[in-house]
């Protein structure tokens, strides 16, 4: 296609000028209102930027430029999430040191990000793998440790045998490792955890007040997984042992006809001598151990289990003896690892009972009956002695009380497993001493540097840091005797749980961030990024902020009150972009051919930011065409003295609409409004300054390079960035005359031009005198005359 301007030259020119003039440096000014606009920082992968990255980045850039025009002090930083599994796996694949590959990838990403002309304050750039940064990640670990929120314990944890490390629950997707898709297995290991569960209730309740997408809030609610119920103890016959269960349905206790304990339940061992078929039980436990989590949950239709022979439990509500089974459909990690089973009112228990031919007793009646299966709704109590006739909801508390149980709340969310048996992460700042035990590294000794004298950092199941003697053999900070360092490293998600604080004070050597800076800029006013971080990063970050608050570092509850998820950019075939499908679009190629301005405009014009939408190369041609026309119009343009009332009215409407749309991230309609205005503008010549300047200022948010170039061509000496957002005048934005659609009996019949302020009586007379309308009204009587000012007129006969 014929291009009217050289985007390569122009875009480079203005990027250099912006950089030289430091125009995007955050203005810290007490007189200005602040806005902190944050992008989710990328991890610098080897593949480079994909077209999804600039989608969110362009949107925030437009918003920030708009805010600067409106005299806000804007904090808009960028950095690199450089530690963690993805970066390390890439280095291993390439056979290089992660330090080197990370450095190279960051250089490439920087070049790519800069080619879009984003208005970041680059002085605040951070890199989570630099010692200046991870010193404070380690400081956070110590803060959590001192607050009793970091602890080490042996527990069944997720293990990926391909990445050779443990994983947090949040990093297991469909029973598989998020990074390599290997099926995750459970292993009993001693690991470090952060006590996220301590904040479960607050994390849940806090969601109500956040301006976040509903879908995302729902995901977090679901992840936190609150259920209210009761803990009830069942006595084992002829033994001191008791089985405690958690149930959300204590009202169904009369229908409990058997119990099931998880294979990992400690009771199995305790009752070893009394279980007559212990060999059989052991065999079953061995079998479940070999199953992956995926197998254990996927085969949920076909339940397995073994009866504990010689053991019975007593239902505390009616003293009936009921059998006890062991089965892997009960999870050891939720509730008490044991359940009471009510097959009449629980689908899973029903399936198990059918298979093992167990008694099914109905204890609740509901108008909606389920012919074949369990009735899980609430209703009226039956077969429940003194509770018969009571509503089941009411019976919950009463029955719990009768059997001496306690009402309680359970959550699905687990503590966050943060230790990793991997090289590329911040070392955990802990020392083990034979005399003093677990000793935190004194703050003054931070950072604990990641050793570089390691020849082989490939994962083996043990942390590669173990092989560096200079690293792990140390003196105990308390007693001075020989001790060793913890050689596991931290999950990369620890680093990015607090990065938005570091941007505010990236060079501070004494604090993770000064109180003043937190006060000045937190919380983040607008956070934009992908939905994939719904339950990992976004829960951890909220958790960190609450911990900081409880340690008096700040006084707000939530780091991100407003959050927007941008949608995915799909391939032109409507499928997710992937190498194997061959539908990947490389942003470098697009910028080279059409320019960054066209790219930015196109991605914003595709549709609403939050929707996922397919890429279409013809679409970007349209945006380039728009810019070419603008360039041509301005090439020989000189300010004149002409004015034009109609155009002026359109201008003020456009200013209002574009401003509104930007604030609400409706960038597709903002661009459409600019196109409409330009179409009318380009029909005129010799226009005075305001018609032209306002347009270029608005355009510069979206297409900043070409706008600067044209601004200069018009003879302006300073950067367009230094201008202010044009003010719109509501009076001018309003029309004096409107085209009013006229309906007869709800059907559109005519359009007449009327004064906006016309009275209803005048309008009625005018409308009824119209030939077209007369035809439809005919001789019939007008029973109703509806007029909505400026909108519509409807005549009912």
Partner RNA sequence: GCCGUGGUGGCGGAAUUGGUAGACGCGCUGGACUUAAAAUCCAGUAAAUGUAUAAUUUGUGAGGGUUCGAUUCCCUCCCACGGUACCA
Joined together, the tokens standing for residue 689 give: 């300054």
Q: Does the footprint of RNA cover residue 366 (CB under 7 A)? A: no
Please, which residue, 331 or 454, has the CB nearer to RNA? 331
Q: Does the footprint of RNA cover residue 741 (CB under 7 A)? A: yes
Footprint (CB under 7 A) of RNA, residues 379-418: 410, 412
In order of 110, 257, 363, 392, the CA distances from 346 in angstroms are 56, 12, 12, 15
Please, which residue, 191 or 598, has the CB nearer to RNA? 598
Smallest gap from residue 138 Cβ to RNA (A): 29
Q: What is the spatial distance between Cα 242 and Cα 573, in angstroms, rounded to a whole number? A: 60
The residue among 146, 783, 224, 101 whose CA lies nearest residue 534 is: 224
Q: Supply the DSSP string of 534-569, one letter for each residue.
A: TTTHHHHHHHHHHHHHHTTS---S-S-SBEEEPPPE
Q: What is the spatial distance between Cα 80 and Cα 83, in angstroms, rounded to a whole number? A: 9
Q: What is the spatial distance between Cα 329 and Cα 302, in angstroms, rounded to a whole number? A: 10
Strands 416-417 and 185-194, bridge-based pairing: antiparallel
The contact pattern for RNA, residues 637-666, with x = CB under 7 A and - = no contact, is: --------------------x--x-----x
Please, which residue, 44 or 229, has the CB nearer to RNA? 229
Please, which residue, 26 or 400, has the CB nearer to RNA? 400
Please, which residue, 339 or 353, has the CB nearer to RNA? 339
Among 399-407, 642-650, 721-729, 739-747, the segment contacting RNA (CB under 7 A) = 739-747
Please, which residue, 144 or 330, has the CB nearer to RNA? 330
Task: Find the binder of RNA among 65, 179, 186, 303 (CB under 7 A).
Answer: 303
Q: Does the footprint of RNA cover residue 614 (CB under 7 A)? A: yes
Q: What is the spatial distance between Cα 433 and Cα 138, in angstroms, rounded to a whole number? A: 19
Contact 441, 427 (CB under 8 A): no
Footprint (CB under 7 A) of RNA, residues 521-580: 531, 534-535
Footprint (CB under 7 A) of RNA, residues 208-227: 214-215, 218-219, 221-223, 225, 227
Q: What is the spatial distance between Cα 232 and Cα 245, in angstroms, rounded to a whole number? A: 5
Footprint (CB under 7 A) of RNA, residues 81-140: none
Footprint (CB under 7 A) of RNA, residues 326-365: 328-331, 334-335, 337, 339, 346, 348
Please, which residue, 277 or 672, has the CB nearer to RNA? 672
Torsion of CA 407, 411, 412, 413, to 10 degrees: -160
Among 119-127, 182-190, 608-616, 714-722, the segment contacting RNA (CB under 7 A) = 608-616
Strands 34-39 and 73-75, bridge-based pairing: parallel
Helices (H), 151-266: 200-206, 214-224
- How many chain residues bind RNA (CB under 7 A)? 83
Contact 196, 415 (CB under 8 A): yes
Q: Does the footprint of RNA cover residue 16 (CB under 7 A)? A: no
Footprint (CB under 7 A) of RNA, residues 224-283: 225, 227, 229, 246-249, 262
Footprint (CB under 7 A) of RNA, residues 759-788: 784, 786, 788
Please, which residue, 374 or 433, has the CB nearer to RNA? 374
Length of the chain: 797
Joined together, the tokens standing for residue 27 give: 């203005």
Smallest gap from residue 226 Cβ to RNA (A): 8
CA 82, 88, 93 angle in degrees (round to 5)? 135
Footprint (CB under 7 A) of RNA, residues 432-491: none
Q: What is the spatial distance between Cα 246 and Cα 754, in angstroms, rounded to a whole number? A: 72
The residue among 655, 721, 717, 723 whose CA lies nearest residue 691 is: 655
Please, which residue, 156 or 440, has the CB nearer to RNA? 156
Please, which residue, 464 or 595, has the CB nearer to RNA? 595
The residue among 624, 699, 628 whose CA lies nearest residue 667 is: 699
Please, which residue, 74 or 620, has the CB nearer to RNA? 620
Smallest gap from residue 568 Cβ to RNA (A): 8
Contact 91, 97 (CB under 8 A): yes
Joined together, the tokens standing for residue 463 give: 């942390």
Footprint (CB under 7 A) of RNA, residues 45-84: none
With a CB cutoff of 8 Å and minimum separation 6, the contacts of 530 are: 40, 52, 56, 565, 566, 568
Q: Does the footprint of RNA cover residue 702 (CB under 7 A)? A: no
Task: Find the binder of RNA among 187, 629, 684, 688 (CB under 7 A).
Answer: 629
């Amino acid at each position: 296609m014929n291009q009217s301007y050289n985007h390569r030259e122009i875009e480079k020119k203005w990027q250099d000028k912006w950089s030289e003039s430091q125009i995007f440096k955050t203005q810290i000014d007490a007189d200005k209102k602040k806005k902190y606009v944050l992008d989710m920082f990328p991890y610098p992968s080897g593949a480079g930027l994909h077209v999804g990255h600039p989608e969110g980045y362009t949107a925030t850039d437009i918003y920030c430029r708009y805010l600067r025009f409106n005299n806000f002090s804007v904090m808009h930083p960028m950095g690199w999430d450089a530690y963690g599994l993805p970066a390390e796996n890439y280095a291993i694949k390439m056979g290089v040191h992660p330090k080197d590959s990370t450095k190279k990838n960051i250089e490439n990403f920087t070049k790519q990000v800069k080619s879009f002309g984003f208005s970041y304050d680059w002085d605040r750039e951070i890199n989570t793998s630099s010692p200046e940064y991870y010193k404070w990640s380690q400081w956070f670990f110590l803060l959590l440790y001192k607050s009793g929120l970091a602890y080490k314990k042996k527990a069944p944890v997720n293990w990926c045998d391909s990445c050779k490390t443990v994983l947090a629950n949040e990093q297991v997707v469909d029973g598989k490792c998020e990074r390599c898709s290997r099926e995750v297995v459970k292993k009993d290991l001693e690991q470090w955890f952060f006590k996220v569960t301590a904040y479960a209730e607050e994390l849940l309740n806090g969601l109500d007040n956040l301006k976040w997408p509903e879908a995302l809030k729902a995901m977090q609610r679901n992840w936190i997984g609150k259920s209210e119920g009761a803990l009830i103890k069942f006595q084992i016959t002829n033994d001191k042992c008791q089985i405690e269960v958690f149930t959300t349905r204590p009202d169904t206790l009369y229908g409990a006809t058997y119990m099931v304990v998880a294979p990992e339940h400690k009771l199995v061992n305790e009752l070893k001598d009394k279980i007559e078929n212990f060999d059989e039980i052991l065999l079953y436990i061995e079998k479940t151990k070999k199953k992956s989590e995926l197998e254990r949950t996927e085969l949920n239709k076909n339940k397995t289990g073994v009866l504990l022979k010689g053991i019975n439990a007593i239902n505390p509500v009616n003293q009936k003896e009921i059998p006890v089974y062991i089965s892997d459909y009960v999870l050891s990690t939720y509730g008490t690892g044991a359940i009471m089973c009510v097959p009449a009112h629980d689908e899973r228990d029903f399936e198990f009972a059918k298979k093992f031919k167990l008694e099914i007793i109905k204890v609740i009646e509901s108008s909606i009956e389920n012919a074949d299966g369990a009735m899980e709704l609430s209703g009226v109590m039956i077969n429940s002695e003194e509770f018969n006739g009571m509503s089941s909801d009411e019976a919950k508390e009463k029955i719990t009380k009768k059997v001496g149980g306690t009402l309680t709340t359970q959550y699905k969310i687990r503590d966050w497993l943060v230790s990793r048996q991997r090289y590329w992460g911040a070392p955990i700042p802990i020392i083990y001493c034979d005399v003093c035990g677990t000793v935190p590294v004194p703050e003054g000794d931070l950072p604990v540097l990641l050793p570089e004298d390691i020849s082989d950092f490939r994962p083996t199941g043990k942390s590669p840091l173990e092989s560096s003697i200079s690293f792990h053999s140390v003196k105990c900070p308390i007693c001075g005797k020989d001790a060793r360092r913890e050689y596991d490293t931290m999950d990369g998600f620890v680093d990015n749980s607090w990065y938005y604080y570091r941007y505010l004070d990236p060079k501070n050597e004494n604090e993770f961030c000064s109180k003043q800076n937190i006060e000045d800029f937190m919380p983040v006013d607008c956070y934009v990024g992908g939905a994939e971080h719904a339950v990992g990063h976004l829960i951890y970050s909220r958790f960190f902020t609450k911990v900081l608050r409880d340690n008096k570092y700040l006084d707000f509850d939530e780091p991100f009150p407003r959050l927007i998820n941008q949608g995915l950019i799909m391939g032109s075939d409507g499928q997710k972009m992937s190498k194997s499908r061959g539908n990947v679009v490389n942003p470098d190629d697009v910028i080279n051919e059409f320019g960054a301005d066209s790219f930015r405009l196109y991605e914003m014009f595709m549709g609403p930011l939050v929707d996922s939408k397919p890429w279409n190369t013809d679409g970007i041609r349209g945006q380039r065409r728009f810019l070419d026309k603008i360039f041509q119009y301005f090439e020989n343009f000189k300010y004149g003295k002409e004015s034009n009332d109609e155009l002026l009215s359109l201008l003020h409407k456009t200013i209002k609409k574009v401003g509104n749309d930007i604030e609400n991230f409706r960038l597709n309609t903002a661009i459409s409004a600019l196109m409409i205005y330009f179409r009318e503008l380009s029909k005129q010549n010799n226009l005075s300054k305001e018609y032209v300047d306002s347009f270029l200022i608005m355009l510069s948010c979206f297409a900043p390079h070409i706008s600067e170039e044209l601004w200069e061509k018009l003879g302006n000496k300073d950067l367009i960035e230094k201008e202010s957002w044009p003010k719109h005048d509501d009076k001018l934005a309003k029309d004096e005359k409107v085209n009013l659609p006229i309906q007869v009996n709800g059907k559109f019949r005519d359009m007449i031009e009327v004064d906006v302020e016309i009275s209803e009586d005048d309008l009625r007379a005018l409308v009824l005198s119209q030939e077209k309308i007369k035809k439809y009204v005919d001789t019939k009587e007008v029973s109703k005359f509806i007029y909505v000012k400026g909108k519509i007129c409807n005549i009912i006969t």
